[in-house]
Structure 1
Amino acid sequence: MHTKPRKICLVGSSGGHLTHLVMLKPLWSKCNRFWVTFDKEDANSALKGEQVYHCYFPTNRNMRNLIRNTVLAWKILRREKPDLIVSSGAAVAVPFFWLGKLFGAKTIYIEVFDRIDKPTLTGRLVSPVTDRFIVEWDEMTKVYPRAINLGSIF
Structure 2
Amino acid sequence: MTASVVFALPAPEADYLRELVEQYLELVTAPEDPRDTAAKRLSPDAYPDDEAAAAEFRELTRDDVAATRAADARLVLATLGDGPIPHDDAASGQPLTLDPQQQTAWLRTLAGLRLVLAERIGISDESIMPVGDPRFDVYEWLGYRQEMLLQALDG
* TM-score between the two structures when normalised by the length of structure 2: 0.30
More helix, by proportion: 2
Greater Rg over alpha carbons, structure: 2
Q: Which has the higher contact order (CA 8 A, sep 6+)?
A: 2
More strand, by proportion: 1
* TM-score between the two structures when normalised by the length of structure 1: 0.30
